[in-house]
Chains A and B, each alone.
Chain A
């Protein structure tokens, strides 16, 4: 079992839609979670960084962690064509020296 699992999609939505991206993780000791956005031929760009359970909001983005079910989510409100990218979830290992990444979900927002 991989440490972090993510549905690769692809996901296609109309402009303005609410997007829900999801991951699961295997180790209940994980406490730090991140979401990255990666455009083609670019490095991952940090979007959200959360600790433990609960919600964190930043503009149109909301990150949610449910430790009881080992489930992490990213919601994008009022999606824009510029949001079209691959979204990667990640968890910090319990040893604190590496991050485990999901495979990424490819998102296309259609104008």
Chain B
């Protein structure tokens, strides 16, 4: 079975631009979460979506937005990019909204560099 897939794998953008990152969850998983991982740090929660509805949002500015589609794939959008947005963006899927028997399964991420 295919795991979580993310595209693109690498991206270089200029300050002020916007970016769209894409994620396809494991087949049968209805929940998608987005995390930001800065070099040398653990992943930080950005969003969780379940059945196309936002179920949680981390401490990120409104420049970050996301959505989930009827096929459970998801997009993360970041507007007005800043140098500090350079990071590995991880998408994870799980079978439920969270709680028992629903650990996160991660993709390999999109590495975003803002210059």
Contacts and interface: CB of A to CB of B under 8 A. Distances in A.
Interface of A: 4, 6, 8, 32, 34, 36, 41-46, 49, 51, 88, 90, 92-93, 95-104
B7 interface: no
B97 A103 contact: no
Contacts of A103: 40-42
A51 B102 CA distance: 11
A33 to B, nearest CB: 10
Contact of A88 (B42, B99, B100, B111): B42
A96 B97 contact: yes
Lowest 3 CB-CB distances: which A-B pairs, in order? Answer: A97-B56, A101-B42, A43-B106
A49 B108 contact: no
Contacts, number: 67
Contacts of B107: 43
Nearest to A100: B45
B55 A97 contact: yes
Interface string B30-66: 0001010000111111001000000110100000000
Nearest to A42: B108
- Central interface residue in A44, A90, A97, by most chain B CB within 10 Å: A97
Contact of A102 (B42, B100, B104, B111): B42
B99 A44 contact: no
B98 interface: yes
- Central interface residue in B41, B56, B103, by most chain A CB within 10 Å: B103
Contacts of B90: 43-44
B105 interface: yes
B2 to A, nearest CB: 14
A51 B55 contact: no
Contact of B106 (A4, A44, A51): A44
A8 B41 CA distance: 9
